Amino acid sequence: MNKTAKTLSINTLKRGLISGINVTWELAKIVVPISFIVTFLKHTPILNIISEVFAPLMSMFGLPGKAAIALVLGNFVNLYAAIGAIVSLSLSVREITILAIMLSFCHSLPVETALAKKIGLSAIKVIAVRCSLAIIAGLAFNLFL
């Protein structure tokens, strides 16, 4: 690593503030529209249909069927999209923690798999490993939490 002499200055604070605002902005850009869509679905029969379809699968993780929306968004889009769904679905702390551990292991698959592939790993193996870790962690948290 090039160990260039780095110094702390007011620029450090400025950059921190800017990157904090950036993260918040990137997050808000996704959380607000997703939250709007999910809230909209809540007022239609669609959310109930999704809930019922996924209820048997999600119950293995101690999650309601509607939590599938957060898992799907988190994996196909990114964590911020999953956050947007989580905050609009009125879930309990336990349910949020289970979703969070599953999503931590497995999220943003299109972007992150491309990165891993660039380093030389097989895309299928990476996805298989991440999904397995998410499933095992979800089952374990449901069991012990």
Partner 1 sequence: MLTIILKEALLGSFSSIKNIIMIVIPIMIAMEILKDSGIFEKIADLFSPLVKIFGMKKESGFPLVIGILIGISYGAGVIFETAKQENLPERDLYLLTYFLVACHAIIEDTAIFTAIGANGALLLITRLFVASLFTFLASRIIKDKNKIKMSAEV
SS3 145: coil
Nearer to partner 1 by Cβ, of 10 and 56: the residue is 10
Nearer to partner 1 by Cβ, of 32 and 57: the residue is 32
At 140, list the tokens. Answer: 């374990």
Nearer to partner 1 by Cβ, of 54 and 108: the residue is 108
Identity of the amino acid at 145 = L
At 37, list the tokens. Answer: 């869509």
For the bound state, the minimum distance from the C-beta of residue 145 to partner 1, rounded and expressed in Å, comes to 8
> What is the C-alpha separation between 92 and 100, in angstroms, rounded?
12
At 27, list the tokens. Answer: 């997050």
Nearer to partner 1 by Cβ, of 59 and 97: the residue is 97
> What is the C-alpha separation between 14 and 12, in angstroms, rounded?
5
Give all strands (DSSP E) within the chain, no chain letters.
none
For the bound state, the minimum distance from the C-beta of residue 16 to partner 1, rounded and expressed in Å, comes to 3
Nearer to partner 1 by Cβ, of 59 and 122: the residue is 122
For the bound state, the minimum distance from the C-beta of residue 143 to partner 1, rounded and expressed in Å, comes to 13
Footprint on this chain of partner 1 (rule: CB under 8 A): 1, 3, 6-9, 12-13, 15-17, 19-21, 23-24, 27-28, 31-32, 35-36, 38-40, 43, 79, 83-84, 86-88, 93, 96-97, 99-101, 104-105, 112, 115-122, 126, 129-130, 133, 137, 141
SS3 44: coil
From the number of C-beta atoms within 10 Å of its C-beta (0-12, 13-18, 19+), residue 115 rates as exposed
For the bound state, the minimum distance from the C-beta of residue 91 to partner 1, rounded and expressed in Å, comes to 8
